[in-house]
Amino acid sequence: MLFSFSVSGAEKMCTYSTYKWNTISRKAVDFKTVQHPYSDLQSFEIDEQTGCTVCEEDQVVIQIGDLPAFKVCKHFAFDIENTLNQLWSDNQPVNKIVAYRVGMTRGEVDEQGNRTGFSNHSFGIALDINDEQNGLYDQCITFNENCRLRKGGKWSPDQFGSLTPDSEIVKAFKSIGLKWGGEIAGKQKDFMHFSPTGY
Ligand SMILES: [Zn+2]
């Protein structure tokens, strides 16, 4: 912040649009835009591990091939852009990318049934690739026909655009330190999803 001491009234701000996931109605509720001085950031607005925040001001726009632009946290932008440009020039099947998107979809539930924690997408540290061929499943310790599809389209290892442990796309993201949601422990498998923790 080169000018922070010389320009009066130009205090750095933090701006974001958010919502809460209601676990009872299974709908997004409480849409709002938040803005406050950057210096007032609260711990729940910062990802401790990466230092990335929910603020638009900390996101970088990336555009790959002829796909719509998306945003990621500035700390990951260089690696993610290089990786995706390489995959695109290698004709790997990257059809759709969703990254920064702020919303409380995790963590404890309040009295109204609303989630109270920000997802990793909220900090710009998670990417969804080809959601239509890489669904999010629950009741899915290991993948089988009884896993329950909750979001996106059906995953099938032989399908064009679906990701597997052997996919160049999965290998490339792992090489820059991201984990794949198709390989996380627990009941959930999120085949479209990459982040530092896989969640
Ligand atoms: Zn995701």
* Residue corresponding to tokens 């938040």: 34
pLDDT in the model for residue 51 = 97
pLDDT in the model for residue 10 = 79
The CA distance from 190 to 199, in Å, is 8
pLDDT in the model for residue 5 = 54
pLDDT tens for the chain, 199 residues: list them.
555 555 556 789 999 999 999 999 999 999 999 999 999 999 999 999 999 999 999 999 999 999 999 999 999 999 999 999 999 999 999 999 999 999 999 999 999 999 999 999 999 999 999 999 999 999 999 999 999 999 999 999 999 999 999 999 999 999 999 999 999 999 999 999 999 999 9
- The count of residues in the chain is 199
pLDDT in the model for residue 7 = 54
Cα(135) to centroid of ligand 1, in Å?
A: 10
Q: What is the pTM of this model?
A: 0.92
The secondary structure of 115-167 as a DSSP string is EEEE-GGGGT--EEE-GGGS-EEES-SS--TTPEEEESSPP-TTSTT---TT-
**Whether the Cβ atoms of residue 190 and residue 184 lie closer than 8 Å to each other:** yes
- Residues bordering ligand 1, an ion, CB closer than 5 Å: 126, 128, 193
pLDDT in the model for residue 59 = 98
Amino acid at site 2: L
Cα(121) to centroid of ligand 1, in Å?
A: 6
- CA-closest candidate to residue 73, choices 49, 96, 92, 99: 99
Cα(193) to centroid of ligand 1, in Å?
A: 4
The CA distance from 121 to 199, in Å, is 10
**Whether the Cβ atoms of residue 22 and residue 112 lie closer than 8 Å to each other:** yes
Cα(106) to centroid of ligand 1, in Å?
A: 12
pLDDT in the model for residue 1 = 52
* Residue corresponding to tokens 């990466």: 50
